[in-house]
Amino acid sequence: MSQLEFDESTARQLEVLYGTRDVLRRRQLVRDALGVARGERILDVGCGPGFYVAELLEHVGSDGSVVGIDSSQPMLAVAAHRSEGHDNVAFHEADATSLPVENASFDAALPVQVLEYVAEVPAALAEMYRALRAGGRLVVWDVDWATVSLHTTDLARTERILRSWDGHLAHPSLPQTLTAQLQGAGFDDVKLEGHTFATNELEPDTYGGFLVPFIAQFVVGRDGISKDEANAWEAEQRKLAQRSEFFFACIQFCFTATRPG
């Protein structure tokens, strides 16, 4: 199954998503978990359109710095534009499993909804462990897509579409095994918090409201799903919303860990 391609079109769509109120809430939760101080050096693995990088630059101040890594050149172009005017930021095109950074050179690292797309999670964790200084902090945020709850009048069709949507990434339920993988990579003090994102509004300013048309677009031509079927599923959700019957919820998980030292 073909995974999501992070091309220019996807970069534009994700930039819209990252500006929604639900993702604004998520960024605040991530920043709180990271606990950045002035003068620190931060590594954003899978920085996407660079929202975290731009915000973290304000927290680390002129004495600190932020490095953004992404495998998508279109994403990096958007991220670099967002951080224009700062001389304490750098961006590199690379995979999470091969970070172009020096050993033990960062105070904290964050991959936010990134590892679920990485085929070799242990290799990516090993690279972040290598990049962190002794005592360095790691914040990992991923979604367990098995927790999605969506009201529907056609359960079989919705289940088929959500199963096909699982093909957009490498590990649909990564959080279920991530504690053991973090410990296996050498990290200590692994802690976990779950955050529910729920909405009764089919509006693009919510996580669920953004995802419905995004999912419908992705699944066309996959697993035997036709454009007509995907459109009918999206139309059903819009009709439910008109009757105040739309419901979407999922649980996203925040892991914190430390490199011993």
**Over the stretch 147-188, which tens digit does the pLDDT of each residue have?**
999 999 999 999 999 999 999 999 999 999 999 999 999 999
pLDDT of 62 > 60? The answer is yes
Rounded to the nearest integer, the mean pLDDT of the chain is: 95
Position 14 confidence tier, pLDDT thresholds 50, 70, 90:
confident
Nearest C-alpha neighbor of 207 from the set 14, 2, 67: 14
pLDDT at 6: 67
d(CA 243, CA 232): 17
With pLDDT > 70 as the criterion, what percentage of the chain qualifies?
97
pLDDT of 12 > 90? The answer is no
Position 2 confidence tier, pLDDT thresholds 50, 70, 90:
very low
pLDDT at 109: 99
Provide the token pair at 234.
């999206």
pLDDT of 145 > 70? The answer is yes
Task: Return the DSSP state at 113.
Answer: S
Instruction: State the pTM of this model.
Output: 0.92
pLDDT of 92 > 90? The answer is yes
Query: Could you please report the per-residue DSSP string of 46-81?
Result: T-TTSHHHHHHHHHH-TT-EEEEEES-HHHHHHHHH
Q: Describe the chain by its helix, strand, coil percentages, rounded to 5.
A: 45, 25, 35
pLDDT of 134 > 90? The answer is yes
pLDDT at 4: 66
Q: Crossing angle, helix 227-242 and helix 207-219, to 10 degrees?
A: 160
Position 1 confidence tier, pLDDT thresholds 50, 70, 90:
very low
Q: Crossing angle, helix 155-165 and helix 227-242, to 10 degrees?
A: 120
Helix (H, G, I), strand (E, B) or coil at 108: strand
pLDDT of 21 > 90? The answer is no
Residue 222 near residue 164, CB atoms below 8 Å: yes
Provide the token pair at 147.
């927790």
- As a whole number, mean pLDDT of residues 78-93 equals 95
Position 57 confidence tier, pLDDT thresholds 50, 70, 90:
very high
> Mean pLDDT: which of 5-14, 33-42, 207-216 is highest?
33-42
Using alpha carbons only, what angle is made at residue 196 by residues 32 and 169, rounded to the nearest 5 degrees?
A: 90
pLDDT of 19 > 80? The answer is no
- As a whole number, mean pLDDT of residues 93-107 equals 98
d(CA 64, CA 77): 22
Position 104 confidence tier, pLDDT thresholds 50, 70, 90:
very high
| Superfamily of domain 8-258, CATH level 4 | Vaccinia Virus protein VP39 (3.40.50.150)
d(CA 112, CA 243): 34
Beta bridge partners of 143: 252
